[in-house]
Amino acid sequence: MSAVEAMHWGLAEKATTLSEAHDVLSKLLPNPKAKPEVLKDYYLRSAAIYARVAETDRSHHHEAIYWANREREKGEAIKLRKS
């Protein structure tokens, strides 16, 4: 992970509103052709952030839960090859 990427994930971890989470996570979204490991990591990490934001941004609770579930399902759907 690059220093810039680490900084942005740090910002994502500090997001308290759905808008902040969307803004930061959209900048971290990997290329759809990225390695499956990269995509899976992104979706599962973003799911955790949306789930946490659902508790802090109560006016967008249900929408944040939707996004958390959506991202988690996308991440879990990515199958990784065992080496």
Decide if pLDDT at 67 tops 70. Answer: yes
What pLDDT score does 8 carry? 78
Say what the pTM is: 0.89
Long-range own/partner contacts, residues 43-51 (CB < 8 A, 24 or more apart): 43/71, 43/72, 43/74, 43/75, 43/78, 44/71, 44/72, 44/75, 44/76, 45/9, 45/12, 46/12, 46/21, 46/71, 47/71, 47/72, 47/75, 49/12, 49/13, 49/15, 49/21, 49/25, 50/18, 50/21
Q: Is the pLDDT of residue 50 over 90?
A: yes
